[in-house]
Structure 1
Amino acid sequence: MTHNQTEETPASILPIIPTIDVVVFPHMVVPLLVLDEKIIKGVEQAMQGDKKVLLLAAQQSENYHGPIGVQDLFKIGTVSTIMRIMNLPDGGIKVLAQGVEKALVEEVISGQDLLQAKITETSTTTYDEKKAEYQLRNIQALIERISATGRLFSPDFQAILSQIQEPDRITDFILSHLDLSVQQAQALLEKDNLNNLLDGIYDVLSQEVESYNVQERIRNNTRDSINKSQREYYLREQMKAIQKELGEEGENENDDLREKVKTLPLTEEAKLEATRQLRRLEKTAPDSMEATVIRNHLELLLGLPWGVFTKDNTDIKTAKTILESNHFGLDEAKDRILDFLSIRFLNESSHTPILCLAGPPGVGKTSLGESIAKALGRKYFRISLGGVYDECEIRGHRRTYVGALPGRFIQAIKKSESSNPLIIIDEIDKLGMSNRGDPAAALLEVLDPEQNHSFYDNYLGVHFDLSKVMFIATANDLSTIPGPLRDRMEIIQLSGYAHEEKLEIAERHLIQRALKNCGLNNNAPEFNRNVLSKLITSYTREAGVRELGRYLQKLCAKYARALVESNEKIAFSENNIEHYLGPCKISQETFIHSNKIGVSNGLAWTPYGGELLQIEAVLMRGNGRLLLTGQLGDVMKESAQAAITYAKAHADLFTIDAKLFNEYDLHIHVPAGAVPKDGPSAGITLLSAILSALTGRAINGSYAMTGELNLQGNVLPIGGLKEKILAAKQFGLHHVIIPKQNARDLSTISQKLYEGINLVFVDNVEEVLNHVLMPQA
């Protein structure tokens, strides 16, 4: 069954009243505020005629609140009757209008004084009455569900709705109570018949019901979670009451913490803090996040070894035996530990030394620290600081942060279960720095005997005594350690090992370790000294013995494979190890020993041991320029300038033609150009190469030299003497020229180290040149 919906025929041209944030439907009464003069004149004109105006909604973007234009108006609006107007003091008017019917705008006419629209007369539309009744029943069912929630519709809404009979009137009444956006309302207004309009209203109400259901599910889940916590708390309290009535002691974690606070020998500050935190814990809900943070803090605070100390082993002989059995050489470090034990035997309250073992990789710095702990009878813990760039790693995080932890030193104390362990601070020279603070600066408090008795960790929240802890730091390069931090440590230099020392270490320690790792304890291969010597000279060139240990393990692995595959036992010799290890990695550089013009052998110190540098000087036609290549640092360049100045000032002494300085360029090059080089100790080496090139006299290739040069020709002392002598020995050079003022340093170097080497002490450069410059050919 269909129903005809007859509409009035409005005038073809009507004044426009734009509406903002509201869409007016037929039969809806709305108050409007009009301020624009054009619109006010249109309203006044309508009041003189049939009082009809066209209400058109404006489309605006979400965040735009400025003036609207003709292009912003929708094309379908509502013809309305003006019921009443009221003039306002500011010149505007207030209009009360009631919608009559929909109209389609054909053209907007914008004159100087009026804003009007030419509209199309709407025709009679039809709709399916039966379907409309069915749709209205569904809509009313949704309205009842929404009304039951107390949302959207007022309590009187359904009572008024039940008294309206006409479908179009019911529809208009529902529309006037819906909370719609401009876009949603305009879409409903533009529906072409009642059935489609009812479908749109049903969709809007369905979305409202679905939105409510989602919100209700969220509320219920939240309520269930809260109810569960309350229920657990209630049951826990009931359990306590039942256990109390039965005389049974309940499982209360807080009781254990309270007992520890009473019995542990805490400091006064720590006891006050623990008591305060315990009271907070008792007042906090057990399942809350705050309770977990407080409990973790208390467990750490009470888990520290307050008053727990290991007794130092003051038996000097036993300690010496342990140190000697685990390490060969390193006499200075061993002597310092034995000195400390002697003082400890006489005075138990003496300060614990803070040592820094500095030397190349592989010389045994870290393992020596472990041996020292064993000799002292102390607990041992190692902290590696290489690459650490956050100050909180030292001082701990504040407990307000999620995942906060104590600093590494407090963690080390807790894990070692002793208040006086030996802590190795490994790679202290490789600390980083970032916007999170400077860990090296934070270490100042840890390593200062005057401060570390009251070390403050941010997480712990109380001071802890670190003065009984023995700290041993390790470093490769002392120059990267800040001065204030270096000042707090007693530096012990561990130089590289000589050939003979490496042989001893291999026989005493490295072979046994390689055999154990390869499971060859009962089927051990033999390594004679010739094999070990070849490994040291032809496969490794290092200050330590780490690479030597790797090659020994590689040979043991080859032996184990042959034993498992064919039950064959390999007999290693200096002639066959190339078959198992490949060709020699280090060639015997015989060119170092040859006598050449303009080529001298210099000795250099690096954090990884001593090195030999060949400095080359060549004359070529030019205009007296000095060319320096080989990635030289500023200090080394200045040494070259000083050497040139000395050569020019003493040209007559060496019978050098003055034209050579003006008509020739001098090029000085230090090979291994990719490696940076710096320092003043190459002064006499540079001068020897320069004078050799200028005089045409060859330099004796069996000499290596080191020493700083000044403009008076004096040879000044240098550092790293032991490493430089070792480097000369490794390269097979038998004569080493060193400054006379360095003779005192030989007392700290084992005589075995420079056996077979002729040490030539010099005071001035003339003595150097007398040894190295050979007669004219």
Structure 2
Amino acid sequence: MNNNDEKKDLSFTQKLRENNEIITEVKYNENKLTYPLSAQEEKIIEYDGELPILVIPNTVFLPHTHLTIPLDKFNTDNLLKSINENQEGIVLTPKKITDDNTKMEFYNIGSILKIENLEENEAEYTLELSVKDKVEIMQLTDNGEYYHAKYRIVTEENTITPEESEQMNRDINETILEISKFIPNSEVFIRGLINEEDVEEKISRIFPYMKITIDKKQELLEIDSVKIRVLRIIQLLIEQKDAMSIQMDIARRINENMSKIHKENLLREQMKMIQEELNMTDSSKSRKTYRERIEEANLPKEVEEVAYEELNKLERQGQNNAEENIIRNYLDTILSLPWHKAEKQKIDIKKAQEQLDKDHYGLEKVKERIIQHLTVLKMKDEKQGSILLFVGPPGTGKTSLGRSIATALDRPYVRASLGGVKDESEIRGHRRTYLGALPGRIITGMKKAGQSNPVFVLDEIDKLTASINGNPTSALLEVLDPEQNDTFSDHYLEVAYDLSDVFFIATANYLEDIPGPLRDRLEIIELKTYTNNEKLHIAKEHLIPDVLEDHGLTKDDLIIEDEVIETVIERYTREAGVRELKRQIAAIARKTTEKIVVDNVERPYVVSNDMVYDMLGAEKAHYDVVADKNPAGVVTGLAWTSVGGDILFVEAIMMPGEGNLKITGQLGDVMKESAQIAQSLIKSHFSPLLEDSLNNYDIHIHVPAGAIPKDGPSAGVTLLTTLASLITGIPVDSKLAMTGEISLRGEVLPIGGLKEKSIAAYRSGIKRVIIPEKNVKDLDEVPDEVKQALEFKAVTRIEEVLEEALHIKLPESKKLNLKIEEITSET
């Protein structure tokens, strides 16, 4: 066919493809054969004949197929016994075969097969087969040795015209000729196919060699239209040709690339030999440089000996030795580390104080403790003493305090984040016997610092976890112990390194997650929750200038009113620090940038309080506010959370029962125990007054916000007061809140987080707060504005709590007094 003919008459398959006549997918029948049939079903079934089943796994035959196949003798003896006198059987392909071959599931469409010739040798049979008709199995039985089937012959529709057959032949020939280019020694087989003129016969010969799944082959067998089957097979042949073409192209490119790499390696080796002859090789130059660098580095004696030993190994290495790069990296690491102590600088306490005040608003006690630590260092001639640990909620400035200290001391600042580290090698380094070995984070940080006395911040040490690769917390013990870190051992270096001049600072969110031995080596400084007033000043002095700079704005472009910042703090952030506050300010800056660039608004763009909703959307933070009046059995308590303090309402009701106590609101074990202690105290003090009627009632205590887990002992006095209010029917002032742990002796024990709880009470409209007597000293940490707005009542026993909350005095327990008198008289 010439080019004009190709343009004039498109191929038959292409026309059908353009008209969407090719069926791209024909699903085979999923029905499973069931056997044996009932007698009634067997009378109804109509079939054309009955033949034994030849089970040939992973094989599908099309009608009009002639081929020769080998069969394993061990698995074929019983199969051949099933063949009838005419040497005919039905080939069915199993869907599923059990391990013991006792049960099979078959497709219900197969082919009638005739054995034309059978040859036998020691290991296998060789069968010459011809496939006659396609059949549908109507009934399948198993006699214990082989399967037997009644079948119905399926008549296929063949509407291929001579013109279509000619075009199909042409398409098949073109495709298999292309495929034969990728298959060696296929000329004889391809020639026989091309000479075959009957399309159905040709397809039957190609079908067994097609690389498609058995499911796909079964789909093709079950197609009742010969034309559609031929077209589908032509399409699959084209797809296989394209896939083979792509694979061969990829292989050719890989071979070309490998040849290019081999050629470059050969040229590179020749160039090295020429350079060595002329004494111009890079390797000799590098080795000479290493020796000079070791001599000039003035390393400690032990380190210098190790360096020369490694250099001698390097000089003995042959060309392209695998160990050469390992030795080079090791020598580079040793020579880049600061081995000698840095020149001592006087610590300027006044400068340090100014730097801390400049970088951080508030945190007076924290800054005071840091200054005290620096004065001790100055008195001790800069010898590192205890290690500082900043503990506090996220966003309270722990890491930035370390940066401020480095600036104040004029020292390099290095930070290593340890959150999620679970491999000891991350701290101590990997041994050089491992591929890709590297020094640990401590030595890497010292290399980055370039001096022996940096300020080194170890972030998130409470998030270190042990694993099968060791415990990194244990490795930190040597790093942070002043008595040991002058001879710190890194597995990669294998020589001692002096860390005694390093100013280590650690940070953590939760002190409880730090193991005891490590905690003992640290000087703990707690960072508390910022008040709203402190957040306002931090935003104005630090956050807004930083955000403006990050967004390409100046104070002449954007002005954020104080009321806006206060609104964002109260209604859009719920945190102890200021990280979320900075994000919200950044959102305002982005909106402003859009207004300036797109809408060309007048500058400065002033953001007022009524614009906050449009810029930030709906309010994201919600704080409970106390009601004007509480019913009996409802008391306001105070709680500490990871994002500051909050108030919680404790509710209780009483119902007829057997004296049981029910507690809901997702309370932890400690809080449940506090409720049981409160119940016991109430029963011991109120039973004489109520004549033991408490045993006839069940009490249900609930703490709202049930989706939030709550735990801790500080709700003891709140639970006690709730039960007392419920029993007596006396309501508690809604403007009164309380916190404190209780004991069975009726004592009120101290609690933590008084500052955060006091701020929460102040924010929620509380006027009076009951606290344990032993927490009075903690009022120094409470902001002045909060102390001025709240009245604190210190108590030591539950009698004082109930007198303050309910204005009642507890009666004496007659039973308790009676028992005491009896014991005394017996004694």
The 10-residue stretch of structure 1 (726-735 or 281-290) with the greater mean CA deviation from structure 2: 726-735
- What's 1:43 paired with? none
For the pair 1:584 / 2:619, whether they are aligned, the reply is yes
* Aligned residues of 2:624 and 2:647 also touching (Cα < 8 A): no
2:292 paired with 1:259: yes
Quickly say closer, same or farther: Cα 1:444–1:651, change in 2 above 3 A: same
Alignment of 1:17-32 (within 5 A): none
Per-residue deviation, 1:311: 4.5
The structure 1 residue matched to 2:278, chosen from 242, 246, 251, is 242
1:300 matched to 2:333: yes
366, 382, 386: which one aligns with 1:353: 386
- How far did 1:355 drift? 1.0
Number of the residue aligned with 2:324? 291
- SS, match of residue 794 in structure 2: strand
Q: Which residue of 2 aligns with 1:658?
A: 692
Q: Deviations over 1:44-70 (max 9, x none)?
A: xxxxxxxxxxxxxxx999xx9xxxx99
TM-fit CA distance, 1:549: 1.9
2:806 is aligned with 1:773: yes
Q: 637, 641, 663: which is aligned to 1:602?
A: 637
* Cα distance in 2, alignment partners of residues 375 and 673 from structure 1: 48
Q: 1:642 aligns with which of 671, 677, 688?
A: 677
The one-character-per-residue Cα deviations of 1:672-706 (angstroms, maximum 9, x if unpaired) are 22322222111101101111112211121112211
Question: C-alpha displacement at 1:464, in angstroms?
Answer: 0.9
| 2:659 alignment counterpart | 624
Q: Identify if the C-alpha distance between structure 1 residues 542 and 596 changes in structure 2 by more than 3 Å, giving closer, same or farther.
A: farther
Asked whether the 8 Å contact 1:366–1:426 carries over to 2, the reply is yes
For 2:542, the equivalent position in structure 1 comes to 509
Residue 628 of structure 1, CA deviation: 1.4
Whether contact under 8 Å (1:313, 1:375) holds in the other structure is no
Q: Match of 2:22?
A: none
The answer for the alignment partner of 1:139 in structure 2 is: none
Residue among 773, 779, 787 paired with 1:746: 779
Cα separation, partners in 2 of 1:596 and 1:362, compared to 1, 3 Å:
farther
Structure 2 Cα separation of the partners of residues 487 and 749 of structure 1: 28
The answer to whether the aligner puts 1:762 opposite 2:798 as a matched pair is no
Q: What corresponds to 1:633 in structure 2?
A: 668
**Counterpart position of 2:584:** 551
Structure 2 counterpart SS, 1:450: coil
TM-score (structure 2 length as normaliser)? 0.63
Contact map agreement 2:654 2:700 (CA 8 A) in 1: yes
Aligned partner of 2:450 in structure 1 is: 417
Maintained 8 Å contact 2:663/2:701: yes
Contact 1:328 1:501 in 2 (8 A): yes
Cα distance in structure 1, aligned partners of 2:701 and 2:595: 53
Give, as a single letter, the amino acid of the residue that structure 2 aligns with 1:610. Answer: G
Distance in 2 separating the partners of 1:638 and 1:70: 76
Per the TM alignment, residue 225 of structure 1 is displaced from its structure 2 partner at its CA by 10
Q: Is the 2:384–2:502 Cα contact (8 Å) retained in structure 1?
A: no
If the length of structure 1 is used for normalisation, what is the TM-score?
A: 0.67
In 2, the alpha carbon distance for the partners of 1:706 and 1:70 equals 87
Shift in alpha-carbon separation, 1:70–1:318, aligned structure 2, 3 A: closer
CA contact (8 A) 1:353 1:470 kept: no
Structure 1: any 5+ residue segments left out of the alignment? 1-58, 72-103, 109-220
> How far apart are 1:308 and its partner, in Å?
5.5
How many matched pairs? 568
SS in structure 2 of the partner of residue 459 of structure 1: coil
In structure 1, C-alpha distance between the alignment counterparts of 2:594 and 2:258, rounded to whole Å: 66
What's 2:648 paired with? 613
Contact 1:310 1:420 in 2 (8 A): no
Map of 1:688 onto structure 2: 721
* Partner residue in 2 for 1:338: 371
Aligned-partner SS, 1:520: coil
Give CA-to-partner distance per residue, 1:449-476, whole Å, 9 cap, x none.
Answer: 1111111111122111112111111111
Change (3 A) 1:525 1:224: closer
Q: Which amino acid counterpart does residue 670 of structure 2 have in structure 1?
A: V
Check whether the contact 1:617–1:669 (CA below 8 A) recurs between aligned residues. Answer: yes
Paired residues of 2:625 and 2:765 also in contact (CA < 8 A): no
**Cα deviations across residues 253-310 of structure 1 (Å, max 9, x unaligned)?**
1111112222213222211211111111111124121111111111111111221526
2: CA distance between counterparts of 1:513 and 1:670? 42
Report if the CA contact (8 A) 1:316-1:338 is conserved: yes
- C-alpha separation in 2, matches of 1:226 and 1:516: 53
In the other structure, the counterpart of 1:14 is none
Is 1:567 aligned to 2:601, yes or no? Answer: yes
Partner of residue 369 from structure 1, selected from 380, 402, 415:
402
Distance 1:720 1:319 in 2: 29
1:464 corresponds, among 497, 501, 504, to: 497
Q: Which residue of 2 aligns with 1:703?
A: 736
- In the alignment, residue 406 of structure 2 is paired with which amino acid? A
Cα deviation for residue 223 of structure 1 reads: 14
Backbone CA RMSD of aligned residues: 3.4
Structure 2 distance, partners of 1:318, 1:107, is 102
| Separation (CA, whole Å) in 2 of partners of 1:414 and 1:324 | 31
The answer to whether the 8 A contact 2:557-2:605 is kept is no
Return closer, same or farther for 1:278/1:625 CA change in 2, 3 Å cut-off.
same
Contact 2:626 2:764 in 1 (8 A): no
Query: How far off its partner does 1:753 sit?
Result: 4.9
Residues 1:390 and 1:707: Cα distance change in structure 2 (over 3 Å): same
Counterpart contact for 1:709–1:716, Cα < 8 Å: yes
Q: How many Å separate the matches in 2 of 1:356 and 1:560? A: 40
Letter in 2 for 1:498: T
SS at match of 2:609: coil
User: What CA distance in whole angstroms lies between the structure 1 residues aligned with 2:392 and 2:605?
Assistant: 37
Give how far 1:627 is off. 0.9
Q: Render the CA deviation track for 1:132-162: whole Å, top value 9, x for unaligned.
A: xxxxxxxxxxxxxxxxxxxxxxxxxxxxxxx
Instruction: Flag the 1:308–1:105 CA change in 2: closer, same or farther, 3 A.
Output: same
Q: Residues 724 and 687 from structure 1, CA distance in 2 versus in 1: closer, same or farther, beyond 3 angstroms? A: same
Separation of aligned partners in 2, 1:472 and 1:695:
55
SS at match of 1:611: strand
User: Are the counterparts in 2 of residues 352 and 467 from structure 1 also a CA contact under 8 Å?
Assistant: no
In structure 2, do the counterparts of structure 1 residues 579 and 324 end up closer, same or farther at CA, with 3 Å as the change threshold? same
Q: Is the partner of 1:650 in helix, strand or coil?
A: helix
- Cα distance between partner residues in 1 of 2:587 and 2:310: 57
Q: Matches of 1:582 and 1:362 in 2, distance apart?
A: 23
- More displaced stretch, 573-582 vs 538-547: 573-582
CA contact (8 A) 1:603 1:704 kept: yes
Q: CA offset at residue 556 of structure 1?
A: 2.7
The answer as to 2:478 corresponding to 1:445 is yes
In structure 1, distance between residues paired with 2:715 and 2:292: 69
2:789 counterpart SS class: coil
Against the structure 1 CA distance between its residues 592 and 368, is the aligned structure 2 distance closer, same or farther, given a 3 Å change threshold? farther
Identity %: 45
